[in-house]
Structure 1
Amino acid sequence: MKTQEMALITRDALLLPGGRIEVKIINPGHLKMVADVCKGTYPLAFGMLKANSHPPCYPSITQCEIIDFNQLDDDCLSIVLEGKQRVKVLSAAREKNGIWMARTLPACNWREEPILGEFALISAALEQFYEVNPDLFGLYSHIYLDDASWVSQRWLEVLPLYNKDKLTLMNKPDCHQTMEFVLELIKSHAS
């Protein structure tokens, strides 16, 4: 497998393939990085923030694309990222302008699979979650509620779990353990 250098954005949030997140860009170094990504100079990756760490994120990150941007009232830039491919950080270095560049290796995305049986509950619950969180729902042009992997990954992005616990679930070879975890969580709150 071939390694690739990518610009790295980190936040205390998770972005997985098929997911979307809106990120505010404030400093000039990051504005230049966004311009360079848009020009095709290098790809962009999003990682969960890991405090006091080098690099400043967990080793599992997601290559992403900028799919939209807006100028905010405070003259900052807001970009919407869409996760595409999971990658592993092999090494990273901080440049003079404060931007982190990571050497990455492709990792396996979870494969699509249908939601069957009682797991339809996690799909219905995600649909309800989006109804009460219209700002998050508004990031998506289409939602894939019949795909277990897509639904599981969206739950990992929004559940209030420690990043290390999210990492444990997302590093499994498929979505099954995440589906079971979310189903048990929903059932325990329903009773």
Structure 2
Amino acid sequence: MHTNEMVILTRDALLLPQGRTKVRIVEPHYLKMVAEVLKERYPLVYGMHRVHGKLPCYPYVTQCDVIDFDQQKDGALELVLEGRQKVKIMSAVQRKDKVWIAITRRYDNWQKEAITAQYEILSAALEHFFQANPELSKLYSQIHLDDATWVSQRWLEVLPLYNNEKLRLVCQPNCHRTLDYVLKLIQSHVNKQENSSLASLDVKKMR
């Protein structure tokens, strides 16, 4: 099976196909790595940081493109990355300059799917989340709230889950498991709010 060499950027966050994130680069070895990427010597993959193990990140990562960059006054480099293709790291070695080089193979992206009525609440909640987080929403020129895959992947990126839990969902063959998972979380949150409101009403009646 065809493999590729790619350089690894790790962060304690998830980036999936069609997702965007802003990253601040200050480490000298990462600055050198980005220069190699911009010169098209290596493709770039973005992976969730992992403390233990032979790899610096979890093995399922996302090849991404640098769609914008800006040199900061303090010397840091600010990148805007866009996820393109899921890949799996087969092996990796760290160079003397601390840059990790990975041997990767392509891992199928989830296919686009129309969102059904059952999951429309996820689109509405994501739209509200973007409105409440303008720094994130302005990274996107378009949002695809009618695409179940796009919606579910954006939820996986922003939800405060353990990295291994996110990985378990990412490795599914499609977005269906993630849709169900996020729907249960939102429904549980709504139920808690309703129960809290009812309890408040009961207290008022007792007074």
Q: Which residue of 1 aligns with 2:134?
A: 134
Larger Rg: 2
> Structure 2 CA distance, aligned partners of 1:140 and 1:72?
22
Corresponding residue number in structure 1 for 2:89? 89
> For residues 125 and 175 of structure 1, what CA distance do their matches in structure 2 show?
17
Match of 2:166 in 1: 166
1:53 deviates by 2.4
Q: Secondary structure at the match of 1:118?
A: helix
Scaled by the length of structure 2, the TM-score of the pair is 0.90
- Tell me the distance in 2 between the aligned counterparts of 1:25 and 1:167: 24
SS at match of 2:15: coil
Whole-Å separation in 1 of the counterparts to 2:167 and 2:49 = 12
Superposition map of 1:23-102 within 5 A: 23-102=23-102
Q: In the alignment, does 2:145 pair up with 1:145?
A: yes
Paired residue type of 2:187: K
Runs of 4+ in 1 over 3 A off after TM superposition: none
Aligned length: 191
Amino acid paired to 2:180: E
Q: Could you state the TM-score of these two structures normalised by the residue count of structure 1? A: 0.98
- 2-structure distance, mates of 1:132, 1:11: 23
Match of 2:20 in 1: 20
- Which residue of the partner structure matches residue 203 of structure 2? none
C-alpha distance in 2 between matches for 1:143 and 1:72: 28
Aligned to 1:107: 107
The one-letter amino acid paired with 2:32 is K
CA distance in 1, matches of 2:41, 2:154: 29
- Show CA shifts across 1:67-86 (max 9, x none): 01112232200111100000
Take 2:113 and 2:131, find their aligned partners in 1: how far apart are those partners? 24
Partners in 1 of 2:99 and 2:24 — Cα distance? 15
Q: Distance in 2 between matches of 1:34 and 1:28?
A: 10
| Offset at residue 98 of structure 1 (A) | 0.9
Structure 1: where are the runs of 5+ without partners? none
Structure-2 separation of matches of 1:155 and 1:105: 25
In the TM superposition, what is the alpha-carbon distance from 1:45 to its structure 2 partner?
0.2
Structure that is richer in helix per residue: 2
